[in-house]
Structure 1
Amino acid sequence: MIPSNAIQITPEILSLIAGIDEFKGAWRALGTLAPDRLSALRRVATIESIGSSTRIEGSRLSDRDVERLLSKLQIKSFATRDEQEVAGYAEIMELVFSSWQDITLTENHIKQLHRDLLAYSEKDAWHRGNYKTSTNSVVAFDEDGKQLGVVFATATPFDTPALMTELITWFNDESDSARFHPLLLIGIWVVVFLEIHPFQDGNGRLSRVLTTLLLLQAGYAYVPYSSLESIIEQSKEAYYLALRQTQGTIRSNAPNWQPWLNFFLRALAEQVRRLNRKVEREKLVLASLPELSLQIVEFVREHGRITMGDAIRLTGSNRNTLKQHLRALVEQRHLDQHGAGRGVWYELR
């Protein structure tokens, strides 16, 4: 499918891969973070990932809304399409985190993941788990969920089954041969998957779930602790531009993988940078913060934000003491302050 000379390895690509792999090795050696710290990091990253990935596709739920919804996930009843999509994404992410070793890259598994992704989406019941039957295109949305227009055309329903078989066979064969670095294979797999757009809906969300799955299988064990989806959401224009520039060439004799691979690897490098910063902050927090400040930081890490009312209920301390600690945490750049007066709240910097 992809000739061996079609992937141009530039100095920037080499440098990005080297930096990502250096952190991959360092993460394996990290024994300094307690399990509860890792659990809190993963929870925050998961909320960010679910919120961002669904908003890229037009959802209007904030991370705070997502957090509230996750707390009542067991009720299995969701009033709006946005809530249904968040619930499905949350469950499939948990499945990937817990069972990635058992999910081989096959058409059946991809279809099962698609079915589970849309399990609560009433509007999608007719097509979940099955390849598309009518033409679809990639559409961009703005921050208000309004459609901006078509980004690029996709494969026809007639061609889709054969193209998916070809793509999966290519990836598995190349993974076995180890000719290319795993990050290059994953990047190319994702961009071709999106160019095919095999399902009627849910392709963007599924592509990001599959990216996480393939990264975990390639040994990038830190992935659940830093949200790649939030980086993509914050770089949506560059994301769609890179997709368009590469996908317009995929079916030509000279596919141009560079725009997409550059974007993909830069996003992975930013994911590493953010997680490294969090880890360093964790070490600093453990080493230097007073107990009351540490309680506040742990609460924010677990819940995403804290108000004065939260802090009083959590610690039982008086308002003036808490003001001093919150002010110090802002000055020491552990927290960011938002709002004023009674509406003030704090989140991790």
Structure 2
Amino acid sequence: MINTETLKITLELLTLIAEVDEFKGAWRALGTLAPERLKALRNVATIESIGSSTRIEGSQLSDREVEKLLSNLEIARLGSRDEQEVAGYAEVMDTIIHVWQDIPITENYIKQLHRDLLKYSGKDERHRGAYKTVRNDVGAFDDQGNMIGVVFQTASPFDTPRRMEELIAWFDEAWETKHFHPLLIIAVFVVVFLEIHPFQDGNGRLSRVLTTLLLLKAGYAYVPYSSLESVIENSKEGYYLALRQTQGTIRGDAPDWQPWLGFFMRALQQQKRGLEVKVEREKNALMELPELAIKILDYVRDHGRVTTRDMVREEGASPNTLKATFKTLVDRGLLVRYGAGRSTWYGLN
């Protein structure tokens, strides 16, 4: 069974949880950006998350390469394992973001997410969505994708089904009774899941997918707009160290949850602080726009598109002034220009 009697709330953890929860409550006010800007933030965060999560496991694709691959996914031939992993991760993340309310935390659904995660990987076809049948102790990888050592030993194939059943039962009870703060429950769930390492491959990526799913279920609606995976990638040594320190004690009489809890909460803090900066930057950019530019954006949001003639009619502005204003909006990435000459019109980016 999972022993959480040694799980103590330190002052640092309490402070971190309070900071993250304060941002959670303020997100409605911070999230009042125009829908197209929020969408842009989410798209950037998604690319960062996919790139970082796959690179943590040894992939060599940069964020730019990930973006290029995903933009041509329907016609792309996923020849390399890196490309296959990116495509699968992208598809599962899209599912999580759009239908997280309909995904319960059960063994069957976790297996289904694993199956979809490895959907494009021919090498993993035999064990998609199925618990491991041979040992898969965890290794750490350097920036070139080379394994540099064993991080920790995982549960045996024989013990895996029982251990996963115990984890889900513990989660259900903890989530229902609210005995612990949701962030603590999520942190414990993730570190135990990784200690079990129930699948032959894809456990690290799946753990980060499940983290996003659980955070959304806990009401942290801002999560898709800022990449937690990139925070982890940038702190990879600390990530592996915290996992090793906690996971080496999980099966003992007195598990030491503090190393992992501290890392996890600090990562959440960095994630939300990064989003705060981005939102503030977006708001400042809009505040610096002239009144005419803001009216143009309001018009195109209401009507879907705008032309120079529309704004001459609505605001009485001169064509030359409008031409300069439209150029500013296009240069800032707020509008996209379509057509040419008298047929020119503008839409939201």
TM-score by length of 1: 0.84
Check conservation: 1:52, 1:233, Cα contact below 8 A.
yes
**2:79 matched to 1:118?**
no
Residue 28 of structure 1 deviates from its aligned partner by 2.5
Once the two structures are TM-superposed, the CA of residue 5 in structure 1 deviates from its matched residue by 3.1
Matched with 2:333 is: 298
- The range that moved more, 74-83 or 171-180, is 74-83
Structure whose alpha-carbon radius of gyration is higher: 2
Moved more, 137-146 or 218-227: 137-146
2:231 corresponds to = 231
Shift of residue 296, structure 1, vs aligned partner = 3.5
Show the counterpart of 2:26: 26
Judge which range, 289-298 or 4-13, deviates more.
Answer: 289-298
- In the alignment, does 2:224 pair up with 1:189? no
Cα deviation digits, residues 170-193 of structure 1 (max 9, x gap): 001110001100000000000000
Change in 2 beyond 3 A, CA 1:67/1:4 = closer
Give the partner amino acid of 1:125.
E
Note the residue ranges of structure 2 that are not aligned, 5 or more in a row. 291-324, 341-349
The answer to whether the Cα contact below 8 Å between 1:285 and 1:294 also exists between their aligned partners in 2 is: no
Contact 1:155–1:196 (Cα < 8 Å) also in 2: yes
> Aligned to 2:127, what secondary structure does the other structure show?
coil
- Cα deviation code 1:71-130 (max 9, x no counterpart): 012236311110000000000000000110000000000000000000000110010100
Secondary structure of the 2:244 match is: helix
* Cα distance between partner residues in 2 of 1:271 and 1:168: 27
Aligned to 2:261: 261
**Equivalent residue of 1:75, what SS?**
coil
User: Corresponding residue for 2:102?
Assistant: 102
User: What is the RMSD of the two structures over their aligned residues, measured on CA atoms?
Assistant: 1.9
Whole-angstrom CA distance in 2 between matches of 1:295 and 1:272: 29
* 1:224 partner letter: P
- Aligned partner of residue 151 in structure 1, secondary structure: strand
Residue 339 of structure 1: aligned partner: none
Q: Counterpart amino acid of 1:101?
A: Q
Q: Which residue of 2 aligns with 1:82?
A: 82
Q: Aligned partners of 1:259, 1:74: CA distance in 2, in Å?
A: 42
Residues in 2 aligned to 1:257 and 1:4: alpha-carbon distance in whole angstroms: 8
Q: What one-letter code is carried by the residue in structure 2 that aligns with 1:127?
A: H
Partner of 1:287: 287
Q: How does 1:270-349 map to 2 (within 5 A)?
A: 270-289=270-289, 291=325, 292=327, 294-298=329-333
Q: CA 1:53 to 1:31, structure 2 compared with 1: closer, same or farther past 3 Å? A: closer
Deviations 1:126-151 (A, max 9, x none): 10100000000111111111111111
Alpha-carbon distance, 1:259 to partner? 0.1
User: Could you tell me which residue of structure 2 aligns to residue 325 of structure 1?
Assistant: none
Partners of 1:178 and 1:253 lie apart in 2 by: 24
Distance in 1, matches of 2:281 and 2:137, equals 42
Q: After the TM superposition, which parts of structure 1 deviate over 4 Å for at least 4 consecutive aligned residues?
A: 289-294
Q: Which amino acid aligns with 1:286?
A: L
Larger mean CA deviation between 72-81 and 13-22 belongs to 72-81
Q: Is 1:39 equivalent to 2:36 in the alignment?
A: no
Cross-structure match for 1:16: 16
TM-score by length of 2: 0.84
Amino acid at match of 1:273: R
Moved more, 49-58 or 284-293: 284-293
The alpha-carbon deviation at position 294 of structure 1 amounts to 4.7
Equivalent residue for 1:204? 204
Distance 1:287 1:107, change over 3 A: same
Aligned residues: 305
Per the TM alignment, residue 4 of structure 1 is displaced from its structure 2 partner at its CA by 5.2
What aligned pairs does 1:27-176 form with structure 2 within 5 A after superposition? 27-30=27-30, 32-75=32-75, 77-176=77-176
In 2, distance between residues paired with 1:31 and 1:275? 10
For structure 1, which runs of at least 5 residues remain unmatched after alignment? Answer: 303-310, 317-349
Q: Secondary structure of the residue that 1:150 maps to in structure 2?
A: strand
Q: 2:5 is paired with a residue of what secondary structure?
A: helix
CA contact (8 A) 2:4 2:255 kept: no
Aligned AA (2:173): D
- Contact 2:58 2:146 (8 Å CA) reproduced: yes
Residue-by-residue CA offset, 1:16-53 (whole Å, 9 max, x unaligned): 00000000000033452011001000000000000000
Write the letter of the residue equivalent to 2:330: Q
Q: How far is the alpha carbon of 1:2 from its aligned partner?
A: 3.9
Assess, with a 3 A threshold, how the Cα gap between structure 1 residues 31 and 271 changes in structure 2: closer, same or farther.
Answer: closer
- 1:220 matched to which residue of 2? 220
**What is the percentage of aligned positions where both structures have the same residue?**
68
**CA 1:68–1:178 in structure 2 vs 1: closer, same or farther (change >3 Å)?**
same
Change (3 A) 1:251 1:31: closer
CA contact (8 A) 1:103 1:109 kept: yes
Distance 1:60 1:5, change over 3 A: same
